[in-house]
Amino acid sequence: MAKLTDMVDMEIQGGVAVIAIDNPPVNALSAGVRTGLYEGVTQAVADDAVKAILIYCKGRTYIAGADIKEFGQPPSGTPLGDVIKTIENAPKPVISAIHGTALGGGLETALSCHFRVAVDSAKFGLPEVKLGLLPGAGGTQRLPRVVGVEKALKMMTSGDPVGADFALETGLIDEIVDDLVEGGLAFANKVVSEGRPLVKVRDSNEKLEEAKKDPELFNNFRKSIARKTRGFKAPEAIIQCVEDALTKSFDDGIKGERERFMGLMSGEQSAAQRYYFFAERQANKIPNLPKDLDQITVNKVGIIGAGTMGGGIAMNFLNAGIPVTITEPTQEPIDRGLGVVRKNYERTQKGGRITAQDVEDRMGRLSTTTNIEDLADCDMIIEAVYENMEIKKKVFAQLDSFMKEGAILASNTSYLDINEIASATKRPEWVIGLHFFSPANVMRLLEVVRGDKTSEKVLSSSMAIAKRIGKVAAVSGVCHGFIGNRMLAQRGVQSQKMVFEGPMPWDVDRVIFDFGMPMGPFAMSDLAGLDIGWDKESSKGETVRDVLCEMDRRGQKTGAGYYNYDPKTRQKSPEPKVEEIILEFSEKMGKTRRDFSDQEILERATYPMINEGAKILEEGISYRPSDIDVVWVNGYGWPVYRGGPMHYADSIGLDKVCARLKEFQEQDGDDFWKPAALIEKLVAEGKGFKDM
Ligand code: 3HC
């Protein structure tokens, strides 16, 4: 066996040069891999004894893409383009044998081979769009030639991988094999013995010709993804590359791809999205954990409460194959809750994402009881009852009396003090907050709230279970509203204040929407319901909200709130009466109204969040700034191409944010705007959050 680099070796087995890549954890295309591949293929081509070349990876996966850590670093090793050309132009068959995930530059490398085989669990994708990029090693030109234009557009603009069956059907792979190396070798020998012509994807134009028959293909595709990709630059660049594939030569297509790739790579969006990629992975890591800490195995989960939240939480575990028992004191809410879960699954089945059998399997893992003590042997209990401290404490005291030792006792509270909840038990070290976001079966974020006494074992096991059920978890300490809602409250305060001084709710909402959030604060209030925490009996019209609720404008559910909602389309439109009410309040408060620029609205809405984020860091509520960004991107739809509020502050310049906070403080005469001590300190040191 010849070692080509420290990441790649080669062995000749019966006339086949077997090139093995070994670059854990995901066999990224680091310099050593690229150089090794180039050397291996070049040597194998020159060796007369070699009849075919087989490329495979050791470890858990085929090449999962370019090495993202190398982006922005000075170039080293053989460029990927040269590797790909060398493979494609090899005069002997080159075959990739694929397992795990062939992603990004990995799939592009595989597409430069003449043949591809894979085990049936393998996945294939071009996820560059998730990093604000496009496939930059020929993927935009080769994939449409293999799977067809529309399918390729879908794969590249969503970044989502496809399975081996799809790959076989579309020609992305030639064969499914049982054993990676044995199967790959057998296939290579077959190709040689049959004298099969080498397939160069670059020369296959049939699927492009087919696509040319539909002149509306690109327009329709653009429309179909417009809502999902609003604000993102990479999807449009990908579409343009594919348009090139239909209208230009392969080499010119590659040229266009390279130019657009470089443009995206040097832009702010990709920088934010690459930062975010690592932020999400970092968020799962708890600092200073003992290495030998053992984990609690969660094989059975109990959920208290069959409402929207309880049912949604249950679905996460059922989807991951973990049995769940839901409890309520009476049967009626259980039946209702079960009905909702089933309906949700059936809707997913109609959308084609799961089969009828999957629905039955998942429902089969769900049991119910009206006797809470039946949950005694669960490994984890999640309480999802009404958000009230006394009720929660009662539930935890009861759990403490019968739950088996070693079970995680979790609360789904979104605001309340986990320490106080834990104090109702004699085992506070087993108590933790698991704040799922609504709808709990859809939203990816899980805020894991560590109480003062929560043990490291419970915390780390909760992070592991979060990963197992497909959530992105971030740890928060105890404070009112934890990371996300605490920061949201600050945006709320200023948004409410602004409308008495100048802009109307729809002006604020428009600016926030254009910034990239799914909706602004007033539309969000309408969605949540204006009457949360409002009491009809005691309401005295003291706030705009009181007045609206008194008029039965309680938000989307009553067809009107800050906005009017079309009963059919649910489209919102501003209501003159709301404007009148706001103007009356302004006058009563003695406010002089003035014009606000969109920039000022944006700053007044987002800078208080950044300031609060800094306080959250100061108090040790969050381990790191990037965890806060993970919360905001996944829990509230902060546009990932702006990285999250803390990354956004750094991208503006923390000194500029700090100066603006001081200007607002002076203008308003309000200490609300006083920059957090941490911001002052970082600015004085010439640093940003990224340097913490
Ligand atoms: N480069 C560098 N490091 C990478 C990496 C990559 N492409 N992909 C993953 N890693 C690192 C992660 O940061 C993590 O490091 P850590 O342990 O220090 O935190 C480790 O590998 C394991 O990653 P995950 O925790 O994500 O492991 P999973 O098993 O959950 O997922 C995966 C594996 C599906 C491969 C996932 O890591 C992934 O999606 N990776 C990114 C794939 C990607 O985006 N590829 C395209 C890159 S861009 C490109 O190829 C450009 C080309 O067109 C020219």
Residue nearest (by alpha carbon) to ligand 1 atom 52: 105
> Do 182 and 41 reside in the same domain of the chain?
yes
Is there a single domain that holds both residue 531 and residue 416? Answer: no
Note whether 525 and 380 are same-domain residues: no
**pLDDT tens track for 188-200:** 999 999 999 999 9
Q: Is 103 in the pocket of ligand 1 (CB under 6 A)?
A: yes
Distance 26 CA to ligand 1 centre (A): 6
How many angstroms separate the Cα of 343 from the Cα of each of 301, 310, 624, 627? 21, 15, 39, 34
Residue 416 within any structural domain of the chain: yes
Task: Quote the number of domains for the chain.
Answer: 4
Which residue lies with its CA nearest to atom 33 of ligand 1?
A: 26
Q: Which atom of ligand 1 is nearest to the CA of 134?
A: 53
87 lines ligand 1 (CB under 6 A): no
- Closest atom of ligand 1 relative to the 80 alpha carbon: 54
CA of 583 to the centre of ligand 1 (A): 53
Convert the pLDDT of each residue in 303-361 to its tens digit: 999 999 999 999 999 999 999 999 999 999 999 999 999 999 999 999 999 999 999 99
Which is it for the CA torsion 651, 654, 656, 661, positive or negative?
positive
For every residue of 214-283, DSSP letters joined together read -TTHHHHHHHHHHHHHTT-SHHHHHHHHHHHHHHS-HHHHHHHHHHHHHHHHTSHHHHHHHHHHHHHHHH
* Contact 135 CB / ligand 1 (< 6 Å): yes
- The atom of ligand 1 lying closest to the CA of 282 is 19
| Average predicted confidence (pLDDT) for the chain | 96
Cα(64) to centroid of ligand 1, in Å? 6
* One domain for residues 416 and 441: yes
CATH number (domain holding residue 36): 3.90.226.10
Q: Which of these, 84, 465, 510, lies nearest to 298 by C-alpha position? A: 465
Long-range CB contacts for residues 435-440, cutoff 8 Å, separation at least 24:
435/476, 435/482, 436/309, 436/312, 436/313, 436/316, 436/412, 437/484, 437/634, 437/635, 438/308, 438/309, 438/312, 439/308, 439/312, 440/308, 440/309, 440/312, 440/313, 440/315, 440/316
Which tens digit of pLDDT belongs to each residue from 373-426? 999 999 999 999 999 999 999 999 999 999 999 999 999 999 999 999 999 999
At 292 the pLDDT is 87
Residues 612 and 465 placed together within one structural domain of the fold: no
Per the residue annotation, which of 39, 70, 88, 128 is the catalytic one?
Answer: 128
Distance of alpha carbon 298 from alpha carbon 296, whole angstroms:
6
Extended strands (E) in 58-203:
94-98, 101-103, 115-118, 123-125, 162-163, 175-176
Ligand 1 neighbourhood includes 104 CB (under 6 angstroms):
yes
- Give the contacts of 427 (CB within 8 A, at least 6 positions apart): 400, 409
Q: Do residues 119 and 25 share a domain?
A: yes
Q: What is the C-alpha to C-alpha distance for residues 411 and 448, in angstroms, rounded to an integer?
A: 10
The CATH number linked to 664 is 1.10.1040.10
What backbone torsions phi and psi does residue 235 show, to the nearest 5 degrees? Answer: -60, -40
In a domain, 170, yes or no: yes
- In which band, very low, low, confident or very high, does the pLDDT at 93 lie, cut at 50, 70 and 90? very high
Q: Is the CB of 128 under 6 A from ligand 1?
A: yes
Q: Whose CA is nearest to atom 31 of ligand 1?
A: 26
pLDDT above 90 as % of the chain: 96
What is the 625 CA–ligand 1 centroid distance (Å)?
A: 21
And the tokens for 634?
A: 């996944």
Please check whether residue 86 lies inside any domain of the structure: yes
Active site includes 383? Answer: no
Residues 469, 358, single domain; the answer is: yes
Tell me how far apart the alpha carbons of residues 418 and 210 are, in angstroms, rounded to a whole number.
60
Q: Is the residue at 486 inside a domain?
A: no
**Cβ density class 425-439: b for 16+ within 10 Å, e for less:** bebbbbbbbbbbbee
| Residues 402 and 316 occupy one common structural domain | yes
Residue 533's domain comprises 502-588
Contact 631, 484 (CB under 8 A): yes
Q: Is the pLDDT of residue 469 over 90?
A: yes
- Same domain? For 233 and 366 the reply is no
The protein residue with its alpha carbon nearest to ligand 1, atom 36, reads: 64
- Backbone φ, ψ for residue 538 (5° rounding): -95, -5
Helix ranges (DSSP H) in 637-670? 645-652, 654-668
Residue environment code for 163-182, b if the CB has 16+ CB neighbours within 10 A, otherwise e: ebebbbebbbbbbbbeebbe
Q: Do 176 and 29 sit in the same domain of this protein?
A: yes
Mean pLDDT of all residues in 501-517: 97
Mean pLDDT of 521-525: 95
d(CA 472, CA 160): 17
How many A from CA of 378 to the centre of ligand 1?
A: 34
Burial of 42 (0-12, 13-18, 19+ CB in 10 A): middle
Is 68 close to ligand 1, i.e. is its CB under 6 Å away? yes
Q: Per-residue confidence at 533, pLDDT binned at 50, 70, 90?
A: confident
> 226 CA distance to ligand 1 centroid (A)?
27
Question: Is the shortest distance between the CB of 131 and ligand 1 below 6 Å?
Answer: yes
What's the CATH code of the domain at 383? 3.40.50.720
Please indicate, yes or no, whether residues 408 and 321 belong to a single structural domain of this protein: yes
In a domain, 349, yes or no: yes
- Which residue, of 265, 286, 311, is where some domain finishes? 265
128 is catalytic: yes
pLDDT at 1: 84
Pocket test for ligand 1, best of 26, 29, 264 (most atoms within 8 A of CB): 26
User: Is 272 among the domain residues?
Assistant: no
Q: Ligand 1: does its nearest atom lie under 6 Å from the Cβ of 127?
A: yes
Q: Note the residue count of the chain.
A: 692
Alpha carbon of 116 to ligand 1 centroid (Å): 22
